[in-house]
């Protein structure tokens, strides 16, 4: 058993050196080439220094280059933090200020924008590397232990600053070895990768390649806009494994495309990131090969991608929710009620997780870390951390966990995890003298912003300004002006009253049609 | 400008006010529309004209210019002067 991701990769390279590892729209690399490129970049990053466990920011589009940068970082004994090149720079700067990386890896295309901010951070351009000597090099990863961080993924933060979730080598090894056994993964897997690298679902795609020698196709992002082309891509490249967000599966189902594209190669369809509506899954099951495996996975970034799973093994009616199932191997998932006691069957409680999967921390944020990674209230005998997810669920009579909602204002939209608070903070910091509250219209899958202001603000202006501070998927679709925000007795904005106003507004708009 | 074209332009500028769609010769290639925008646009057009744009028609060629989007609407039975 290996305890460092680089050892796992070296093992795979040894077995499959000439096999295809990754392909993007511009290039392809076999395992030997991937290793050579990662090592060359690692030498430049390390620059003969001995430091380990420092964050390296990766400012690259989703590409082979990004995967090279991830693996290179691991060779240096440091951890990588993927950033979204499509984010507004103000959000990137917020992340960098908190992360304090020792270097940023980018390409020549994105170099100028980074330079224009005069960051006091070393910038490495991965497609214009200096010459490195062709001699055996002692990589620093050999000094690492399995509890050292491997990556830092950023998730939306309710106070407006994204949180960096640090995940160790041990957590990834534990997770991937479970997935390999649960879904009988081999080098024959041809993976169609959808998840952006800033989203931890991509961990499964990348590390099934790294651990087992599977082939990873980085599907051009544009194809997810045009699903007919996407399905053509799967057929052309004989993709047999996908791990996608339900939004994409729903989009394809809504457009009824599976009567035209049968994707004969497809064998495994996994999904996670948000609730998968049973109706749309039934459309997939009804229209494709009967021997395809479908699995519903669940888990927040803080416990390394997934902590429960359910392999669909019986028919479900369109209106029946899919279980999120049972804990993954070596994870314990249990529900605690408001008194921190274990829930009984069918009693709703907060999903809590213990296991090697738990993140190390929120990077450079001890206060937020201690708020959710807490002592197990069921254990008074020795220190034992659990992660309180903030998600609600119950266990049915068959012992399956059924997801039932959130304790707070976090939402899932297009598969992305968003704190409505981050949207509200950005609105307040952009538009002075207005009060704003965001809600999620789950039925129409839209973020709606209510604002209190003397004058109406044009949607154009909202969208234009918010695009400079928020990720595209966080920008509200609808904007409603209210004369005064409804307040609760405690003087806070009354969300329930706002929801009511929204429903009556929707009804009157529908009537007017 | 024809009424359909005008309506398409209106929706496009509402979805992406930061871009001038009249100055672009290919919205997709030039990155004016990303996946969220196309999904959003299809929903808006479906609702406005009470049509259901076929999945097989959601291809880059049909979303590259105002004229191509208008052509798609006409194919779905949308008439001028509505």
What CATH number does the domain containing B13 carry?
Answer: 1.10.1200.10
Quote the domain boundaries for residue B63: 3-75
Q: Is A226 on the interface with B (CB under 8 A)?
A: yes
- Does some domain include residue A505? yes
Q: Do B17 and A251 touch (CB under 8 A)?
A: no
- Does some domain include residue A448? yes
Distances (CA, A) of A323 to A295, A308, A313, A343: 10, 10, 11, 17
- Does some domain include residue B62? yes
Q: What is this structure's pTM? A: 0.91
Question: Who has greater pLDDT, B29 or A142?
Answer: A142
- Does some domain include residue A472? yes
The predicted structure's pLDDT at residue A352 = 98
Pairing of strands A401-406, A385-395: antiparallel
Q: Is A394 on the interface with B (CB under 8 A)?
A: no
The predicted structure's pLDDT at residue A503 = 81
Q: Do A252 and B58 touch (CB under 8 A)?
A: no
The label of the residue with tokens 């949180």 reads A163
Residue of B15, B31, B55, B58 best to disrupt the A interface, most CBs of A under 10 A: B55
The predicted structure's pLDDT at residue A89 = 95
Closest CA–CA distance from residue B33 to any residue of chain A (Å): 9
Angle CA(A479)–CA(A485)–CA(A488) in degrees, nearest 5? 135
The predicted structure's pLDDT at residue A512 = 66
**What SS3 string covers B44-81?**
HHHHHHCCCCCHHHCCHHHHCCHHHHHHHHHHCCCCCC
- Does some domain include residue B64? yes
Q: pLDDT of chain A along its 513 residues, tens only? A: 799 999 999 999 999 999 999 999 999 999 999 999 999 999 999 988 889 999 999 999 999 999 999 999 999 999 999 999 989 999 999 999 999 999 999 999 999 999 999 999 999 999 988 887 777 788 999 999 999 999 999 999 888 899 999 999 999 999 999 999 999 999 999 999 999 999 999 999 999 999 999 999 999 988 988 899 999 999 999 999 999 999 899 989 988 999 999 999 999 999 999 899 999 999 999 999 999 999 999 999 999 999 999 999 999 999 999 999 999 999 999 999 999 999 999 999 999 999 999 999 999 999 999 999 999 999 999 999 999 999 999 999 999 999 999 998 899 998 899 999 999 999 988 987 788 999 998 888 889 999 998 888 988 889 888 988 999 889 998 899 988 888 877 777 788 888 888 888 777 776 765
- Does some domain include residue A97? no
- Count of domains for chain B: 1
The label of the residue with tokens 């056994």 reads A181
The predicted structure's pLDDT at residue A4 = 97
The label of the residue with tokens 């006691």 reads A341
- Count of domains for chain A: 1
Give A-chain residues touching B17 at CB under 8 angstroms: 459-461, 463-464
The chain B residue lying nearest A466, using CA atoms, is: B18
The predicted structure's pLDDT at residue A130 = 86
**ipTM tops the 0.90 cut:** no
The predicted structure's pLDDT at residue B30 = 82
The predicted structure's pLDDT at residue A362 = 98
Report the SS3 class of residue A66.
Answer: helix
The predicted structure's pLDDT at residue A496 = 81
What CATH number does the domain containing A442 carry?
Answer: 3.30.300.30
First-to-last C-alpha distance (Å) of chain B: 14
For A367, other C-beta atoms within 10 Å of its C-beta total 7
The predicted structure's pLDDT at residue B81 = 60
Helices (H), A359-489: 366-372, 420-430, 459-466
């Amino acid at each position: 058993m290996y305890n460092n991701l680089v050892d796992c990769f070296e093992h795979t390279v040894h077995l499959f050196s000439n096999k295809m590892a990754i392909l993007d729209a511009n290039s392809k690399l076999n395992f030997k080439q991937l290793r050579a490129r990662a090592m060359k970049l690692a030498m430049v990053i390390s620059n003969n220094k001995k430091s380990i466990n420092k964050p390296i920011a990766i400012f690259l589009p989703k590409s082979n280059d990004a995967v090279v940068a991830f693996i290179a970082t691991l060779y240096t004994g440091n951890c990588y933090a993927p950033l979204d090149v499509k984010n507004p720079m103000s959000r990137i700067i917020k992340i960098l200020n908190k992360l304090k990386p020792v270097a940023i890896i980018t390409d020549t295309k994105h170099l100028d924008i980074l330079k224009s901010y005069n960051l006091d951070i070393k910038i490495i351009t991965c497609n214009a590397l200096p010459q490195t000597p062709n001699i055996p090099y002692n990589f620093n990863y050999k000094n690492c232990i399995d509890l050292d961080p491997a990556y830092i993924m950023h998730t939306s933060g309710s106070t407006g600053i994204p949180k960096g979730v640090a995940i160790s080598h041990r957590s990834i090894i534990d997770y991937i070895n479970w997935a390999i056994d649960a879904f009988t993964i081999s080098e024959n897997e041809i993976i169609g990768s959808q998840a952006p690298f800033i989203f931890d679902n991509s961990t499964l795609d990348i590390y099934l390649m790294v651990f087992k020698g599977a082939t990873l196709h980085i599907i051009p992002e544009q194809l997810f806009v045009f699903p007919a082309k996407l399905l053509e891509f799967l057929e052309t490249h004989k993709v047999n494994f996908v791990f996608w967000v339900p939004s994409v599966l729903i989009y394809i189902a809504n457009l009824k495309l599976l009567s035209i594209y049968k994707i004969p190669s497809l064998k495994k369809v996994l999904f996670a990131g948000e609730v998968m509506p049973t109706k749309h899954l039934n459309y997939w099951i009804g229209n494709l090969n009967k021997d395809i495996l479908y699995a519903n996975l669940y888990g927040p970034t803080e416990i390394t991608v997934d902590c429960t799973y359910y392999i669909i093994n019986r028919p479900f009616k369109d209106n029946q929710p899919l279980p999120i199932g049972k804990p993954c191997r070596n994870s314990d998932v249990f529900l605690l009620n408001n008194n921190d006691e274990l829930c009984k069957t069918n009693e709703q409680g907060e999903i809590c997780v213990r296991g090697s999967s738990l993140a190390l921390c929120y990077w450079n944020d001890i206060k937020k870390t201690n708020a959710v990674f807490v002592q197990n209230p069921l254990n008074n005998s020795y220190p034992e951390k659990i992660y309180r997810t903030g998600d609600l669920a119950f266990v049915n009579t068959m012992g399956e966990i059924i997801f039932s909602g959130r304790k707070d204002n976090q939402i899932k939209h297009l598969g992305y995890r968003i704190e409505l608070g981050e949207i509200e903070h950005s609105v307040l910091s952009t538009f002075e003298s207005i009060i704003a509250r965001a809600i999620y219209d789950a039925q129409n899958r839209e973020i709606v912003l209510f604002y209190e202001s003397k004058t109406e603000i044009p949607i154009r202006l909202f969208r234009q300004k918010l695009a400079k501070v928020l990720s595209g998927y966080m920008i509200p679709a609808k904007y409603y002006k209210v004369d005064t925000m409804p307040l609760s007795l405690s003087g806070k904005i009354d969300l329930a009253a706002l929801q009511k106003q929204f429903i009556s507004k929707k009804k009157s708009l529908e009537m007017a049609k | 400008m024809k009424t359909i074209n005008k309506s398409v332009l209106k929706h496009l500028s509402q979805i992406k006010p930061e871009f001038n769609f009249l100055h672009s010769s290919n919205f997709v290639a030039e990155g004016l529309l990303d996946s969220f925008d196309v999904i959003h646009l299809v929903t808006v057009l479906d609702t406005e004209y009470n049509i259901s744009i076929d999945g097989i028609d959601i291809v880059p060629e049909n979303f590259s210019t105002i004229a191509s989007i208008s052509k798609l609407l006409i194919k779905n039975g949308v008439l001028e002067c509505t």
